[in-house]
Amino acid sequence: MTIERRQFLKLSAATAAAAFSGLGFDLKPAFAKAELAKLTRTRQTTSVCCYCSVGCGLIVNTAEGGNGRAVNVEGDPDHPINEGSLCPKGASIWQLTENDKRLTSVMYRAPYSDKWEEKPWDWALDRIARKVKDTRDATFEVKNAKDQVVNRVAGMASVGSAAMDNEECWIYQSMLRAMGLTYIEHQARI
């Protein structure tokens, strides 16, 4: 249990004086521009990482002027879950919003089609609602093979979201149960 002491440190002692006094160049100007330019004139808001069910807190810095976009995202030191730390996925989360590959509109591929087409949000929501209703009505079982009342839907499943908070989960689950879904899962368990 000793701190490693190498030849290297012998050299350190010999040149320490030269490096920090004898050659006394003033290095301050070289570092003047090293001040924190990136986060100046930004606004801080808190958020929650959407990637897994741990729920790490984030601080998002968004530009006050200009386009108002996020300039940096990192862990929130005051958050009780992660106390400022983030895993590699969380650490890269700035790219979730600031990314030229990010999809910002609905992309639809029709059955048997080999290409994607852009669609409006309203069209997509209406179509999802239509499909949910049709599937629910087509696969709803009032009774099972033993003639027991079950009132369930076997034709749909939900793979829920780690990005939802407690209250959203309650509303979402209520909706699913009301429709009769029994296959209710969560991505964090898969």
Residue 2 touching another protein (CB under 8 A): yes
Of 34 and 138, nearer to another protein (C-beta) is 34
Nearest CA to 94 among 62, 61, 66, 72? Answer: 72
Query: Distances from the Cα of 82 to the Cαs of 57, 76, 116, in angstroms?
Result: 7, 7, 39
x/- binding map, residues 30-49, to another protein, per CB under 8 A?
A: xx--xxxxxx----------
Lookup: tokens for 94: 């700035």
For residue 151, give the 3-state DSSP assignment: strand
Residue 63 touches another protein, criterion: CB under 8 A: no
> What is the rounded CA–CA span in Å between residue 60 and residue 173?
29
Q: Among 53, 62, 68, 75, which residue interacts with another protein (rule: CB under 8 A)?
A: 75
Q: Is 69 in the site for another protein (CB under 8 A)?
A: no
Q: In the structure encoding, which two tokens stand for residue 155, read together? A: 């034709």
In angstroms, what is the minimal distance from the CB of 29 to another protein? 10
CB nearer another protein, residue 85 or residue 158:
85
* 3-state secondary structure (DSSP) of residue 176: helix
Q: Please identify which residue in 57, 90, 160, 180 interacts with another protein, judged by CB under 8 A.
A: 90
Distance CA 67, CA 87 (A): 28
Instruction: Verify binding: residue 5, another protein, rule CB under 8 A.
Output: yes
Contacting positions for another protein (CB under 8 A): 1-16, 18-20, 25, 27-28, 30-31, 34-39, 72, 74-75, 82, 84-92, 94-95
